[in-house]
Each structure stands twice: as C-alpha cells, then as structure tokens.
C-alpha cells in the first residue's frame, strides 16, 4: 500500500493543501469524501472559527481530514490546542519551526506533517519526529522558500535524505505531474491551486475567474525582502514590484502590504488591491470543476500517463 | 522510434546543451560518440574559432553533432554563415527571434531547433518553420526566461501547443528527471549543468569543483533588469544582488557586470569576480565524471525508474 495513503488511512495518496480563505469545511470535506485528504486551512481563521469548521467538517464527512497550521501566525498555539481538544487526528504544520509543537501533538496521538522547501528543514522536521514531510517547490502559490528550488530539483534532493514519506507540492496539476513527482521520489502529491479555484473553495468568484484566466507568467514570487509569496500580477503586485525595483526597504514594503491583503484578494475578490495568492499551475486551470471531479481527473490522467509509457 | 532521436539520427534522445566556455569540440564529440547529441556552444567563440571547433569535432566523431547560436550575440550572423559553409547539419538557435535565420538555415537543409521559455515563442518558432523546440525551465543555468516558469509547469504548457518534437531543459539530471520530463510531455531532454562540470568540458577546474560543492540555494536567477541569468552566489553575484536590493538602474548593473564576466568565471576560474553560470541541478552533481559516464548513467537510471513504477 502507498505509505501516505496508509499513514492517513485514505484511498488515494493525494492531499488538498491548506490554504488561507479557500479551504474551509466545504472544500476539506468534499476532498475527503472523494477519497483524498482534505485540510482545513487555519491560517485565515481565529480559534473559534477553526472549531466551527472542524465541527462542520466532521458532520460533512466520516473520512479522515486534517488541519494545516502556519506556525508563524498569531493564533498558532491556540489552533494547536483547538485541534487537540476537538480530536483532530492529522495536523500539517508550515512556516515555522517543527520543534515547537511536534512532540506535543504526537503525545496526543496526532499524525504530524511538516511543510519544507529545503533539506535543512526536512532534516529538522524528521528530527522533531514528524510522520511525513511536504516538499514544496518554487512554483507553488502563496508563501514559498528563499532558495527558490523548483519541484523538479527539490524532490530528488529531499528524497536523498528523507526517512519518512515524502509529499510533493508545487506545480502538481494532474495525473501526469503526479506521476512525474512520483518518479522524482515523492510518495504522494499535494495540490493547492487547482483546489483553490474549484467549486467548494470559499474564495470569491472574482478570484476563481481570474485564476482560470491566468496564463504563463501571470504569477510572480515577490515580497522577497519580507517573506516570499507567489501571487497573480495585479495592480497591488505592480505596486510592490515598483517599490522593490526602486530599492524600497522591508519597512516600506510592509507599509504597502498593510493588513488583510489576502482576505481582500481571495475572499472579497478585490482584483486590483487584493493579494491573489496562486501557483504557476494556474496557467493550466481553465474550467470550473468540483473537488470530486479534480480527484477523478487525477486518477484517470495518472492511469493514462502510466499506460502511455508502454505504448 | 523516438521523434528526436529520429530527427537527429542519434541513438539516445539526449542533447548536451550548447554552453559558453564549456562546450567546445572535446565535449560535443564525446557526447556524440556516446550516442547522444553534442552541441558546440558558439556564444563564447568568434567565427574563426567556431570553424576550428567544427573541424576538430568532425575529426573526433563521425556521428551527428550540432552548433548552438545565441542570436543576440554580435557574431550570430557570421556564425550562421560559418555553419552553412562548413556543412553543419543541426543548428540550435536561442536568445533571439526565430524568424531571423530559420528560413535561411532550412534552405541549406539544416535541421533547426529553437530554445524557448514560453508558449508565445514556441508558436513563433513553429511558425518560422523550426524542426523541434527546446523548452527551458526556470531552474536552468545561464540565460533564462522572464516568466520564471519551472520545468514542471512549462512542459505541459508547451506540449499543449507543440506541433514539433519537444525537448525539455532545466532541472534534468538523471534518468528519473528524464522520465519525469517525458511524462510531462517531452520527447527528449537537454542537459547543460551536468555536462558543464564533466571532464571534457573546457571550463576551469575551479569552476567544476565549485559546481560539485554547490548545494540547494547555491544558485540564483539574477540580473532581471538586464537579461535574467542563473549563476552561483559568489562575491560577484553578491555585488549584483546588493545593487539590485538598493534599486540600482539597468545602467548601473551593466557597469558592475562589465565585459567578460562569464569568461572570467567559467574559463579562467575566478571564483570571486567571475560569473559562474549553472543550473539548480548543480546541487545534485557530486563527483567527477566523463560525458560517456553521464550518458550511461542516464540510460541506466531511466530504465530503473521505469521498472520501479511496476515494483
């Protein structure tokens, strides 16, 4: 059996990435009901809202689902406690130190997965006792690593030192990229962007429409003086890019960024002033689809890609 | 038969990328003798030197080899004429407009391949009548596209519109990445970095040693206000990065760059002041090897990767 499917007790080794303003109970439960692993993205929730989503998600699916917790977010500690109190069995941690909460989570019997973008943090996560790692390449949307290592180069690199199951993220769109990631060394794949644009995502229609219209070069990794983020190149991005090109300091960039930019872009659909986080695969996303249709398409195109190798 | 192997009349659908200061007759003939396609990198040669390399390469191999011509280089037109006069049968053009010389080359029965980093130029190249395209991802060394599309995202995108054989470049290291690129839609692969560091490369020992010591994050795509180039992060890179971070203009960057930086780095082995162009796969390159050993390793690991899918 696939080690990631076995770990999470799911049918297909596919994970829906936890994403701010996109992955609430509707998306996570739809993905889990389709036989993959749905994740609640707690990065855009306060602990009370997270608890509501956990309860709703439990009512909507009897299958395993998890919670993603970005460790640098102000509510991280409360989120961890909320997960423990509500009997969550799978937690993905990201954007922070895997030492901080792994032991605590494990002591409550929770499966812990940490998201990394380089070998250094993969080793750190493994030493902290995580059960699996997600290696996320440069092409992924949202927060991203400073080394800018692409999935093609990152997965073989991490595979060399991986002692736990490895989940590839960044650039995964269909069964072809799933199979390609597997060949490079991944046991499973995590998709963010394609689920961010699907029907059950809680993102605004404007955001989903814009993602479907995106083409090559529509996204850019930016805000490198703060924390690198990949986003669509809209008016807000251009303001950041202009400031960066003229040598603005981190402080000035923080001022331009302000508060609530991703909420404005993703949840409220402000196409000009919002931060529209999405990965490079947005160029391949073209039509509206449900989470279940995405999983079905992944399974079918994976099978076809495998068969095509022997035509 | 593989369409790229058939096009070039070679045994294995593997191309050694034409690289400045690395790929003279020694490397190109070694690669061709091993059953793949060797390319002379004319970007660091004047027309007389190119002619010498063509003659030496013909003496060193009876198998097909080609010449890579970066079209924006001052000698491009003379190089084209040198190729025609010397009966070269395969020309790869890059860094320029495929309209300019494709018809001329084709009228002399020369197979023309153009290197692109986006769909727009892929279509332009196909309309110009090229016989194949190389799609080069963000992770590749040296000159690179502005869209920063990674190989994982670029190949499926180009495959959608490709009407000629497609060669993947950027991030290709071994048979696993070769097979992964094939699954994403490539008919063949082009490797630069691994050949740049091999025995027959004319690069300086200092350069090769440094490439073998490179780890994740050792390279960076930089000089984006001029033409983006991926290079190792040495003192020269840091000078560029500092200037960019403080908002320096293209003119200032040109002054810092000066003339002959890649020669200084790659050919002369100046580790501090030279421009050390190399791709992200440098992190995977560890031991000295010959061109023939690289081809053998590619074939063996490709076969093994295919077999592993059915274990």
What is the tens place of the pLDDT at every residue in B214-250? 999 999 999 999 999 999 999 999 999 999 999 999 9
Give the burial class of A124: count Cβ atoms within 10 A of its Cβ; 0-12 exposed, 13-18 middle, 19 or more buried. middle
A81 and A224 share one domain: no
> How many domains in chain B?
2
A104 and A228 share one domain: no
CA-atom Rg of chain B in angstroms: 18
CA-atom Rg of chain A in angstroms: 18
Give the burial class of A251: count Cβ atoms within 10 A of its Cβ; 0-12 exposed, 13-18 middle, 19 or more buried. exposed
Q: Is A153 on the interface with B (CB under 8 A)?
A: yes
B191 and B298 share one domain: yes
pLDDT band at B310 (very low <50, low <70, confident <90, very high): confident
DSSP reduced 3-state for B117 = coil
- Residue A310: per-residue pLDDT: 78
Q: Domain holding B92: CATH number? A: 3.20.20.70
Host domain of residue A27? 3-202+287-308
Task: Say which of A176, A216, A280 has its CB closest to residue B183.
Answer: A176
Q: Is A181 on the interface with B (CB under 8 A)?
A: yes
- Residue A309: per-residue pLDDT: 87
Q: Which residues in chain B are contacts of A156 at CB distance < 8 A?
A: 173-174, 176-177, 284
Q: Is B89 on the interface with A (CB under 8 A)?
A: no
Q: Which of B1, B146, B149, B153 to mutate to test the interface with A (most CBs of A within 10 A)?
A: B153
- Residue A67: per-residue pLDDT: 98
Beta bridge partners of A94: A70
Domain membership flag for residue B4: no
B168 and B224 share one domain: no
Q: And the tokens for A53?
A: 């989503």
Q: Is A152 on the interface with B (CB under 8 A)?
A: yes
Quick: pLDDT tens for A248-281. 999 999 999 999 999 999 999 999 999 999 999 9
**What distance in Å separates residue B306's CA from the closest CA in chain A?**
8
DSSP reduced 3-state for A232 = strand
B90 and B170 share one domain: yes
Residue with tokens 């389709």: A34
> pTM higher than 0.95 for the full model?
yes
Q: Is A173 on the interface with B (CB under 8 A)?
A: yes
Quick: pLDDT tens for B163-220. 999 999 999 999 999 999 999 999 999 999 999 999 999 999 999 999 999 999 999 9
Beta carbons of A138 and B150 less than 8 Å apart: yes
- Residue B129: per-residue pLDDT: 98
B231 and B150 share one domain: no
- Residue B311: per-residue pLDDT: 62
Q: What's the whole-number mean pLDDT along residues B263-292?
A: 98
Helical residues (DSSP H) of B116-257, grouped into ranges: 119-128, 151-161, 175-184, 193-196, 205-213, 235-245, 250-257
Instruction: Report, as ranges of residue numbers, the positions in chain A whose pLDDT lies below 70.
Output: 311
B168 and B241 share one domain: no
Domain membership flag for residue B221: yes
B56 and B183 share one domain: yes
Sequence-distant (6+) residues with CB within 8 A of B4 are: B13, B15, B132, B165, B167, B187, B188
- Residue A311: per-residue pLDDT: 62
A136 and A252 share one domain: no
The reply to whether ipTM tops 0.85 is yes
pLDDT band at B309 (very low <50, low <70, confident <90, very high): confident
B152 and B30 share one domain: yes
Quote the mean pLDDT of chain B. 97
Task: Say which of A147, A173, A246 has its CB closest to residue B217.
Answer: A147
B151 and B75 share one domain: yes
- Residue A274: per-residue pLDDT: 98
A304 and A274 share one domain: no
Torsion-angle region of residue B112: left (phi > 0), alpha (psi -120 to 50) or beta?
beta
Residue with tokens 């690198």: A228
């Amino acid at each position: 059996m696939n080690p990631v499917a076995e770990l999470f007790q799911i049918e297909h080794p596919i994970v829906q990435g936890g994403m701010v303003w996109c992955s609430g109970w509707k998306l996570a439960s739809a993905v889990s009901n389709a036989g993959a692993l749905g994740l609640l993205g707690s990065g855009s929730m306060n602990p009370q809202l997270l608890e509501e989503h956990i309860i709703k998600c439990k009512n909507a699916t009897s299958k395993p689902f998890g919670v993603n917790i970005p460790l640098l977010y102000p509510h991280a500690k409360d989120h961890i406690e909320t997960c423990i109190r509500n009997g969550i069995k799978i937690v993905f941690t990201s954007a922070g130190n895997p030492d901080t909460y792994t032991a605590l989570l494990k002591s409550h019997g929770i499966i812990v997965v940490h998201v990394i973008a380089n070998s250094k943090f993969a080793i750190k996560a493994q030493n902290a006792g995580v059960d699996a790692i997600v290696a996320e390449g440069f092409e992924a949307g949202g927060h991203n690593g400073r080394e800018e290592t692409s999935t093609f180069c990152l997965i073989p690199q991490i595979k060399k030192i991986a002692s736990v199951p490895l989940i590839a993220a960044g650039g995964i769109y269909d069964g072809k990229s799933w199979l390609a990631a597997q060949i490079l060394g991944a046991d499973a794949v995590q998709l963010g962007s394609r689920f961010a644009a699907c029907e059950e995502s809680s993102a605004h229609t404007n955001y989903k429409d814009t993602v479907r219209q995106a083409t090559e070069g529509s996204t850019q990794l930016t805000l490198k003086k703060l924390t690198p983020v990949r986003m669509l190149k809209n008016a807000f991005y251009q303001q950041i890019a202009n400031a960066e090109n003229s040598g603005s300091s981190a402080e000035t960039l923080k001022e331009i960024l302000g508060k609530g930019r991703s909420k404005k872009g993703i949840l409220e659909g402000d196409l000009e002033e919002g931060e529209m986080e999405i990965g490079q695969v947005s160029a391949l996303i073209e039509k509206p689809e449900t989470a279940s249709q995405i999983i079905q398409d992944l399974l079918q195109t994976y099978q076809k890609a495998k068969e095509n190798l022997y035509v």
